[in-house]
Amino acid sequence: FVAAALRTPWTPEPHRALGQALLARQRAREAALELAVAAGISRGAVDLAWLGQAYEAMGAVDEALAAYRRALTVGLPRDIYAVTRNRFFALERQAGGDLDPLRTHP
């Protein structure tokens, strides 16, 4: 993944793949950097959802909520939307928010 990111640093795919691999290895800070690059290049909601997961794994609650909120408002595929929405509301509750998931659409 690193070689691919170095070969084509202007495309989001290798940064996304590297970020996901780092996140799976519990290296959240490094994952967040790669996923932020992917999100910056693609401006895509899926990359924002992954970035939210990296921020959440780092314990950066405000940043995770912001990334999840943006991903949900931009639009996600159904399967990723459900996971991201559930993570958003769980993190919001954990952070002390009072959002009602049945009445609120981020």
Per-residue model confidence as pLDDT tens digits over 43-90: 999 999 999 999 999 999 999 999 999 999 998 999 999 999 999 999
* Topology, domain 2-94: 1.25.40
Q: What would the two tokens of residue 76 be? A: 């996600």
Q: What is the pTM of this model?
A: 0.82
Least confident of 13-17, 27-31, 51-55, 93-97: 93-97
Predicted pLDDT at 96: 82
Give the percent of the chain with pLDDT over 70. Answer: 82
Alpha-carbon gap, residue 97 to 74, rounded angstroms: 22
